[in-house]
Chain A
């Protein structure tokens, strides 16, 4: 490997390049050969051991809370994003748009109508053309003229009351088809017929037609009723589903709260069963006399839990911090976030000398990284 390449790998591993050069380095190296990558990896592995040269420092106890808060916020954001995406998907798939009438744009219509048909068709033009055809072919078009003929007056047929002259011998001479299939003589059948005038027949036909229309209306009504019923059933189920989804969300939250509660309870149990336990009562200060706090400490385990009640509502942008002070020095025991609604808040407890009185105070702060109490004191107590 060339010296120049080694230089590049060293600078890249240390990110001692400017941003643009580093970008180029990343793109080139990660697509280069295995030798270069192995060299880069070994340099990175070596320089990552350099922090071991530094004297080790303990991170502040609040760091874990800060990390936990960031993770919680991130997971909430992710959840909100997921729900938003699910809503968009459901909005896209559920409603069906009614069919719209197809309206052709003008340019499309122009394309469909042939050029020679662009002008409106006039009645006179058709007549003229017909005449022209007749003159060319020599055909007479007179046959299409229909002269009005006189319609003879309707003569109402009369049915004789009695058929006279029909005797048995005449019936015998008639051919067999005059009898119906059941062998009933036609004469008897004829007796059942009656004449119905045309006007009455017309009325009967009209009434039948009306009956026919009703025959269409009923299925149509049934169809509409079915659609309305489906709509109501769909609405009903959609509402039910949304109620169930809300219920599931509520149960999930409850389950998270329960798990938090159970981990808090185990901390309390752990503290209470330790060798050296102390309980400090914290009373309301001038800022709020009604507040009460209780701090349960395990002096051998350096662990503690804090409980409070009757505290005023927290102003927006402020948080409670629990402090312990000994010999003029302040130590933050942790942030008390009322929005978490915990029964017990696990807090850290630094190793103290206990040579003098140890005082505990709860203050409202605007800066979660405050190194000493700056805000109003709400609760105070001593050990």
Chain B
């Protein structure tokens, strides 16, 4: 007999779209630790992290049907959705987002597009991915790591990074692009090595 634990993340997400609460529970069991780690790192507050993450699972329950049939990258979809929701929380606290949070806003800015990119990453083989991304990150320069840290984990916009580092906006954009491109190269090389 096939149990819930044997389903892939994407299969579980498709089952959630069909209102399968057991599938959502399985996704919660798989992802809650990783998502809580990211949420707490970005919001730096236990209570806010807990509240935001609860909302993330509610969004997954409501909008899992946005995850395209046949898509096989639930990991990226869930992580991107979670980070978008955290960024929204952060920016609303700073009053940099003033438009009301409603369904159409959520569909546009929080729900990531259902991608056809098949990276086949799931939490089952996370250790392999962890090793690869750590090695790829270690090969970056300190400046590149710092700019990724500010943009990804601190959730700063390019304008905010430019103000914080006192450098022109164009330089920030160039540095970000270079850092991500190098990270991608390193990551892909790690896969071949």
**A and B: bona fide binding partners:** yes
Note all chain A residues with C-beta closer than 8 A to B152: 14, 47, 50
CB A12 to nearest CB in B, in angstroms, measures 11
Query: Is there an interface contact between A16 and B161, defined as CB atoms closer than 8 Å?
Result: yes
Chain A CB within 10 Å, residue with most, of B50, B129, B130: B50
The number of chain A residues with a CB under 8 A from chain B is 47
- Which segment, of A59-67, A169-177, A289-297, faces chain B? A59-67
Does A353 lie at the interface of the complex (its beta carbon under 8 Å from any beta carbon of B)? no
- Assembly CA distance A47 to B119 (angstroms): 12
- Assembly CA distance A18 to B169 (angstroms): 12
- Assembly CA distance A70 to B28 (angstroms): 14
Query: Is there an interface contact between A7 and B176, defined as CB atoms closer than 8 Å?
Result: yes
- Assembly CA distance A10 to B151 (angstroms): 11
Provided the pairs A48-B80, A51-B37 are in contact, do residues A70 and B55 lie with their beta carbons within 8 angstroms? yes
- Assembly CA distance A53 to B112 (angstroms): 22
Query: Is there an interface contact between A45 and B159, defined as CB atoms closer than 8 Å?
Result: no
CB B29 to nearest CB in A, in angstroms, measures 9
Does B167 lie at the interface of the complex (its beta carbon under 8 Å from any beta carbon of A)? no
Note all chain B residues with C-beta closer than 8 A to A23: 108-109
Note all chain A residues with C-beta closer than 8 A to B5: none
Query: Is there an interface contact between B116 and A53, defined as CB atoms closer than 8 Å?
Result: no
- Assembly CA distance A70 to B180 (angstroms): 37
Does B96 lie at the interface of the complex (its beta carbon under 8 Å from any beta carbon of A)? yes
Query: Is there an interface contact between A44 and B51, defined as CB atoms closer than 8 Å?
Result: no
Note all chain A residues with C-beta closer than 8 A to B134: 52-53
Q: Which of chain B's residues 151-193 have a Cβ closer than 8 Å to chain A? A: 151-153, 156-159, 161, 173-174, 176-177, 180-181, 183-184, 187
Does A6 lie at the interface of the complex (its beta carbon under 8 Å from any beta carbon of B)? yes
Chain A CB within 10 Å, residue with most, of B40, B113, B121: B113
Does A213 lie at the interface of the complex (its beta carbon under 8 Å from any beta carbon of B)? no
Provided the pairs A58-B33, A59-B53, A62-B50 are in contact, do residues A10 and B180 lie with their beta carbons within 8 angstroms? yes
Query: Is there an interface contact between A42 and B38, defined as CB atoms closer than 8 Å?
Result: no
Task: Identify A50's interface contact among B33, B73, B148, CB under 8 A.
Answer: B148
Interface contacts (Cβ under 8 Å), in number, total: 157
Note all chain B residues with C-beta closer than 8 A to A46: 180, 183-184, 187
Nearest residue in B to A30 (C-beta to C-beta)? B113
- Assembly CA distance A7 to B175 (angstroms): 9
Nearest residue in B to A49 (C-beta to C-beta)? B133
Note all chain B residues with C-beta closer than 8 A to A223: none
Q: Which of chain A's residues 43-92 have a Cβ closer than 8 Å to chain B? A: 43-60, 62-64, 66-67, 70-71, 74
Task: Identify A71's interface contact among B34, B61, B183, CB under 8 A.
Answer: B61
Q: Annotate B36-73 by CB proximity to A: 1 below 8 A, 0 otherwise.
A: 11101100001100110111011001100000000001
Does B126 lie at the interface of the complex (its beta carbon under 8 Å from any beta carbon of A)? yes
Does B84 lie at the interface of the complex (its beta carbon under 8 Å from any beta carbon of A)? yes
Query: Is there an interface contact between A10 and B176, defined as CB atoms closer than 8 Å?
Result: yes
- Assembly CA distance A369 to B76 (angstroms): 30
Does B2 lie at the interface of the complex (its beta carbon under 8 Å from any beta carbon of A)? no
25 A-B residue pairs with CB within 8 Å: A7-B176, A10-B176, A16-B151, A18-B157, A19-B99, A38-B117, A42-B117, A43-B180, A44-B76, A44-B112, A45-B115, A49-B132, A50-B133, A50-B153, A51-B38, A52-B130, A52-B133, A52-B134, A57-B33, A57-B40, A59-B53, A66-B51, A71-B21, A71-B61, A369-B50
Report which B residues bind A (CB closer than 8 A). 21, 24, 28, 32-34, 36-38, 40-41, 46-47, 50-51, 53-55, 57-58, 61-62, 73, 75-76, 79-80, 83-84, 87, 91, 96-97, 99, 108-109, 112-113, 115-117, 119, 121, 126, 129-130, 132-134, 137, 148, 151-153, 156-159, 161, 173-174, 176-177, 180-181, 183-184, 187
In order of increasing CB-CB distance, the 6 nearest A-B pairs are A41-B117, A48-B79, A59-B36, A51-B38, A52-B130, A41-B115
Report which A residues bind B (CB closer than 8 A). 3, 6-7, 10-11, 13-19, 22-23, 26, 30, 37-38, 41-60, 62-64, 66-67, 70-71, 74, 369
